[in-house]
């Protein structure tokens, strides 16, 4: 990520999401705006962190990796979302990996400044409480989803999530077939079974596979397969 020195743009995001009031006047000079590119790693599981980020533009993917190297998708996040909130409260390393699905912006603030100016500031603490409790609710739903729903539903949900941003606009949504092993791990299935489901999706006309990429042909058909898009 790179820092953007644009105080007007930062202020516009604070007002657009009605979060201006959660930051008091003392800390506002220490808020920074950051830009990230599609595919960029925002943070990696196990790394130390010194910043808390608020996602205000773009879309990110959150996943966890086991000690054996297998990954499992947890969710996709659109604004408004906080990255590093649990880590800040608990004083621990990064729990999950966060990767940018699209380009976007985050507001960042150093932990030292949070401790100096917001540790006892009730609007900020209430905001964190709301965000964290919502995360635990969504995580419970996500775990149930991966256990209870067939691969067809999980793949349809993944394809929709990876190809649509927070404004419901199609992203540059081709998916390289070289990433199928990663996708299989992320949605909790085998590479072989994933290929069988992709083949069936192609026969049904909802996606197309050519020249090393997958392309969505029928979004409405995928929506019917996915039902409620749990990864969102």
- pLDDT over 90 at 65, yes or no: no
User: How far apart are the C-alpha atoms of 10 and 6, rounded to whole Å?
Assistant: 6
Range of the domain at 133: 2-146
Is residue 84 in some structural domain?
yes
Read off the CATH number of the domain in which 162 is found.
1.10.10.10
Q: What is the DSSP letter of 103?
A: -
Q: 77: which DSSP letter?
A: E
User: Residue 168 above 60 pLDDT?
Assistant: no
Residue 17's pLDDT is what? Answer: 96
- 102: Cβ contacts below 8 Å, ≥ 6 apart: 38, 58, 59, 165, 171
* CATH code assigned at 63: 2.60.120.10
Residue 131 lies inside a defined structural domain of this protein = yes
Instruction: List all residues 6 or more positions away from 218 whose beta carbon is below 8 Å from its beta carbon.
Output: 205, 206, 207
Are 171 and 78 in a shared domain? Answer: no
Q: Are residues 127 and 23 in the same domain?
A: yes
Q: To the nearest whole number, what is the mean pLDDT of the chain?
A: 89
Domain count, the chain: 2
| pLDDT, tens digit (0-9, with 9 covering 90-100), for 72-117 | 777 889 999 999 999 999 999 999 999 998 999 999 999 999 999 9
State residue 51 phi and psi, 5-degree precision: -125, 150
Point out the least confidently predicted range of 68-82, 101-115, 141-155, 196-210. 141-155
**pLDDT for 187 beyond 70:** yes
Q: What are phi and psi of 129, to 5 degrees?
A: -60, -45
For residue 90 the two structure tokens come to 């608990």
Q: What is the pLDDT of residue 9?
A: 98
d(Cα 205, Cα 199) in Å, to the nearest integer? 10
Question: Do 141 and 154 share a structural domain?
Answer: no
Q: Which of 55, 99, 50 is nearest to 74 (CA)?
A: 99
pLDDT, tens digit (0-9, with 9 covering 90-100), for 29-48:
999 999 999 999 999 999 99
Under the banding of pLDDT at 50, 70 and 90, the label for residue 200 is: very high
Confidence of residue 67 (pLDDT cuts 50, 70, 90): confident
């Amino acid at each position: 990520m790179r820092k953007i020195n644009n105080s007007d743009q930062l202020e516009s995001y604070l007002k657009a999401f009605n979060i201006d009031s959660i930051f008091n006047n003392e800390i506002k000079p220490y808020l920074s705006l950051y830009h990230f590119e599609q595919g960029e790693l925002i943070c990696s599981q196990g790394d130390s962190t010194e910043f808390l980020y608020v996602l205000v533009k773009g879309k990110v993917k959150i996943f966890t990796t086991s000690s054996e190297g297998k990954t499992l998708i947890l969710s996709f996040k659109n604004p408004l979302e906080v990255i590093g909130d649990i880590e800040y409260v608990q004083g621990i390393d990064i729990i999950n990996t966060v990767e940018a699905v699209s380009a976007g912006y985050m507001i960042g603030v150093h932990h030292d400044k949070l401790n100096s100016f917001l540790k006892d500031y009730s609007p900020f603490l209430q905001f964190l409480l709301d965000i964290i409790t919502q995360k635990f609710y969504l995580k419970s739903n996500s775990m149930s989803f991966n256990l209870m729903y067939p691969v067809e539903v999980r793949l349809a949900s993944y394809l929709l999530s990876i190809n649509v941003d927070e404004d419901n606009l199609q992203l540059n949504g081709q998916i390289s077939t070289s990433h199928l092993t990663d996708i299989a791990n992320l949605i909790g299935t085998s590479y072989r079974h994933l290929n069988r489901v992709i083949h069936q999706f192609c026969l049904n006309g909802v996606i197309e596979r050519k020249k090393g990429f997958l392309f969505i042909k029928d979004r409405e058909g995928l929506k019917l397969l996915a039902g409620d898009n749990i990864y969102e």
